Amino acid sequence: MFNLELENFKLPIQDAIRWCAQLALMSQDLDSPAVSQRRTLLVEANRLWDEARQVAKSGWVKWNIRDTVQWEAAQKILAEVIDSSKPIVSKLRSSQLRPGFPVDRYKSESDWSVAVEELIVKRSGMLTQGWNQQVAEYAKGGRILLYFPEENLACGAAQVGSGGFYDEDNVPPWDIWVGFFDGALLSWVPPALVEVAQMGIDVNPENCIQWADQ
């Protein structure tokens, strides 16, 4: 597991949580109907993918897994999950917090550190949502995501797999950045997007995105 002391990032994490609450992402917590439906769909998609693998391996003729009806059905479910998440994801690349220049131009750790610190300061000054019990309960469902720019191959798989949660360089939305430490960009992923973020991780071959608690 990545050696990280999250206490050092407590205030930026709280600000990211408050920002997401301010953007009305509060309505989709872990127990909301939308998230529960998305979770149910993902379970069904995984079942179909497992069946597709079994079909592809069985019989006298070897199937291409992508030619099975199970695979096609699973992909349709995945598309539904992604489409349901796009309205939320779009809120997290706000024009107010947009970095000064495209993130694919950040070539060094110092570039990333400066960009993240500028965003943290800007976001803190724009917050109107206070910290209260409701926000604290909401925070329990979120997770800290790590992105390692040096490991990025920019293959685009995570962008497609997550429905745009990650960009083509595998960078998560800037509104939820909370720090840069030891070569890693830290972001707080709201409860409504944990499954979507995981979908990108699952298809990311270079493992440049991962959860901090794994």
Residue 111's CB: how many other CB atoms inside 10 A? 15
Q: What is the pLDDT of residue 93?
A: 92
Between CA 114 and CA 127 the distance in angstroms is: 20
Q: Is 207 left (phi over 0), alpha (psi -120 to 50) or beta?
A: left
Rounded to two decimals, the pTM is: 0.75
Q: What is the pLDDT of residue 30?
A: 46
- The encoded tokens of residue 39 equal 């979770």
Cβ contacts of residue 116 below 8 Å, gap of 6+?
177, 178, 179, 180, 185
- The encoded tokens of residue 180 equal 């840069």
Q: What is the pLDDT of residue 27?
A: 44
Q: Answer whether 188's CB lies under 8 Å from 16's CB.
A: yes
- The encoded tokens of residue 88 equal 């939320």
Q: What is the pLDDT of residue 34?
A: 66
User: Token pair 């509060």 is at which residue?
Assistant: 26
Q: Answer whether 12's CB lies under 8 Å from 179's CB.
A: yes
Positions of E strands within the chain: 143-147, 177-181, 184-189, 209-211
pLDDT means per 10 residues, the chain with 214 residues, are 73 94 60 67 80 79 78 82 71 90 80 94 91 85 93 77 84 96 94 85 87 89
Q: Answer whether 54's CB lies under 8 Å from 74's CB.
A: no
Concatenate the DSSP letters of all residues of 28-39 into one string.
Answer: S-TTSHHHHHHH
